[in-house]
Amino acid sequence: MTQQVRRAFRYRFHPTDEQAAELSRTFGGVRLGYNKALEERARAWYGEQRRVSYVQSSAALTAWKKTEELAFLTEVSSVPLQQALRHLQAAFGNFFAKRAQYPRFKSRKKSRASAEYTRSAFTWRDGRLTLAKMVAPLRIRWSRPLPEGAEPSTVTVSRDSAGRWFVSMLCEDTVAPAPASDLAVGPDAGITSLATLSTGEKITNPRHERRDRARLARARRELSRKVKGSHNREEARGKVAKVHARIADRRRDFLRKLTTRLVRENQTLVIEDLTVRNLLKNGKLARAISDAAWTDLRSMLEYKCAWYGRELVVIDRFFPSSKLCGACGTITAKLPLNVRTWTCECGAVHDRDANAARNILAAGLAASACGDGVRPQRESSRTGRSSAKQETQRATAGTPHP
Catalytic residue set:
188, 272, 353
**Cα angle 180-182-187, degrees, rounded to a multiple of 5:** 105
At residue 13, φ and ψ (nearest 5 deg) are -145, 160
Instruction: Name the residue among 341, 356, 311 with its Cα closest to residue 197.
Output: 356
Question: If we measure between CA atoms, which residue out of 138, 144, 173 comes closest to residue 158?
Answer: 138
Q: What angle do CA 69, 75, 81 make, to 5 degrees?
A: 85
Q: Is 278 helix (H, G, I), strand (E, B) or coil?
A: helix
Name 165's Cβ contacts closer than 8 Å, sequence gap at least 6: 12, 13, 14, 15, 20, 23, 157, 158, 159
Helix, strand, or coil (residue 313): strand
* Burial tier of 350 (Cβ tally within 10 Å: 0-12, 13-18, 19+): buried
Q: Tell me how many degrees the CA angle 235-241-244 measures, rounded to the nearest 5.
A: 155
> By C-alpha distance, which of 250, 228, 244, 226 is closest to 236?
226
∠ CA 118-4-369, rounded to 5°: 130
Q: How many CB atoms lie within 10 A of CB 290?
A: 15
Strand order in the sheet with 165-175: 113-118, 154-159, 165-175, 3-13, 140-141
Q: Is 191 exposed, middle or buried (0-12, 13-18, 19+ CB in 10 A)?
A: middle
Nearest partner of 263 among 234, 306, 225, 294, judged by Cα: 306
Q: Residue 378 phi/psi, 5° resolution?
A: -80, 155
Kindly give the residue spans of alpha helices, DSSP state H, lying in 104-212.
208-211
